[in-house]
Amino acid sequence: MHLEGTLEAALKFQLSARNGVSLPYSSEEEMRAAYDFDDLPSFLAMYYEGISVLLTEDDFYDLAFTYFQKAHSQNVVYAEVFFDPQAHTSRGVEFATAIAGIRRAQSEAESALGLRSQLIMCFLRDMSVESAMETLETADQHRHSIIGVGLDSDEKDNPPIKFADVFAAARDRGYRITAHCDVDQAESITHLWQCLNDIGVDRIDHGVNALDDPSLVAEIASRGLGLTVCPISNSYVTDGLKASQIRSMLDLDLRVCINSDDPAYFPGYITENLLAVQEAAGLNRGQITQLVGNAFAVSWLPDREKQAYIDRLHEYAVGP
């Protein structure tokens, strides 16, 4: 889940007024009506437009804390969340400003709501390798605040291998590594193999197209890699939720879990995503428990802490 993708219309309007940033809409309704994207590039255009209202540390705090409150209302106890530093530094907002607001919200969410979180920094794959490397170097000052690095934005003509050196440098610094393999992209299978063989990812975001190549499925399974699938997001940028594929992934013992991606734009947080896939694929209680358990199993927590969450999940799922 991308923090910038939790920017709901109401907060976007509030921040645009607070910061004197004009938006090309006269009302929240008009803005929501413009969310008519049907592929990754048309979504990204709206996503970056929204980001333009985020300028101060308080803006990033409000963005993140509003999300944590929403997640808490859906009984989320732990979240690994992305942010996109280059989407801010490229418009003159400092890395330190963004991360300070986010860190403050994380710490308040933990103390006030009991919701823990860790932060993943994504590189924008449609920007240059030099920019990604510069971002990695800037992040050295905040190393203790970031658990891992990822790769997002427009996948077309931006294969994972483009950033092989950046990921190698991130690995040397001790970061965990994930990368988006968005659904139904050109060269999806090639990109998935690059993530495995050239990048050495610890996890894959989306990755549904792995099902098209049995040897890829076997390799992902043998490495125990997690796949963070986002059903409602899929329904906006591809031809459907991919619910039957999620069911197939469970049948194949892949460590698939359910995520909300950009919930302000693909309406639905974690509960709505779980419900959507449950209804569409007819999943039973055990399969839903497996999906949620997988999310903890593939998280970047120490093993003991993972197990404590999984034990709580099973207690809840079995009932009193």
Q: Are 226 and 120 in contact (CB under 8 A)?
A: no
CA dist 119 → 46, 55, 203 (Å): 23, 19, 15
To Zn ion, the closest distance from the beta carbon of 5 in angstroms equals 7
Closer by beta carbon to Zn ion, 55 or else 122: 122
One of 166, 237, 261, 296 touching Zn ion (CB under 5 A)? 261
- Give 8 or 182: the residue with its C-beta nearer to Zn ion: 182
Least distance (Å) between residue 195 CB and Zn ion: 14
Which of the ranges 92-100, 105-113, 132-140, 254-262 carries the binding residues for Zn ion, by CB under 5 A? 254-262
Q: Binding to Zn ion by residue 62, rule CB under 5 A?
A: no
Nearest residue by C-beta to Zn ion? 261
**Residue closer to Zn ion (CB basis): 106 or 153:** 153
Residue 186 CB, shortest distance to Zn ion, in Å, is 17
303-318 vs 285-297: helix crossing angle, rounded to 10: 160
Q: CA-to-CA distance for 86 and 136, rounded, in angstroms?
A: 10
Q: Which residues contact 118 (CB under 8 A, 6 or more apart)?
A: 79, 80, 81, 147, 148, 300, 301
Residue linked to tokens 């959507």: 276
Residue among 258, 250, 252, 245 at smallest CA distance from 286: 250
Phi and psi for 284 in degrees, rounded to 5? -95, 175
Which range touches Zn ion (CB under 5 A), out of 23-31, 106-114, 255-263, 304-312? Answer: 255-263
Determine phi and psi for 228, rounding to 5 degrees. Answer: -95, 95
Of 57 and 261, which has the nearer Cβ to Zn ion?
Answer: 261
Nearer to Zn ion by Cβ, of 58 and 187: the residue is 187
Q: How far is the CB of 114 from Zn ion (least distance, A)?
A: 26
Minimum distance between the CB of residue 273 and Zn ion, rounded to whole angstroms? 13
Residue with the two structure tokens 């990695």: 136
Rule CB under 5 A: which residues touch Zn ion? 261
